Amino acid sequence: MSRILIVDDNPTNLKLVSYVVKAHGHDVATAGDAMAALASIEQQRPTLILMDLQLPGIDGLELTRRLKADPTTRSIPIIAVTAYAMKGDLEKALAAGCDDYVTKPIDTRTLPDVIARHVARAERAS
């Protein structure tokens, strides 16, 4: 079973995305900020991370840069999740190291397919 870490400071978003991810057979861990995400990753490495870009303190782009710079976490796929879908945001997310990009409000019909595609790729690589 794949473990998905959902990093989002909004409790409603965490609940919704957790529900959708669990309903598709994944184990879920959640974190409300970058420090909690790092602690969760250290405790049990996720198969994939859904990363809100607008986090308090260390934002999702900086956290992604740190994870991709670390050889022990570099290969974990990170999907950027953001409500700020402005021109250039996709490029910023990809430049920081995100593997994909999903906008809020989350489309609960397509999110499972995006996750499945990256989980399959991660499992083949490991």
Domain range list for the chain: 3-125
Domain range 3-125, its CATH number among 3.40.50.2300, 1.10.10.10, 3.30.365.10, 3.90.1720.10: 3.40.50.2300
CA distances from 93 to 11, 59, 65, 78, 105 (A): 23, 11, 10, 10, 17
pTM (2 d.p.): 0.96
- Give the mean pLDDT of 44-67: 96
Q: Is 84's pLDDT higher than 90? A: no
Per-residue pLDDT tens digits for 103-125: 988 999 999 999 999 999 998 88
Residues ≥6 apart with Cβ < 8 Å to 54: 9, 60, 82, 83, 84
Per-residue confidence (pLDDT) for residue 82, from 0 to 100: 86
**In the prediction, which pLDDT does 86 show?**
74
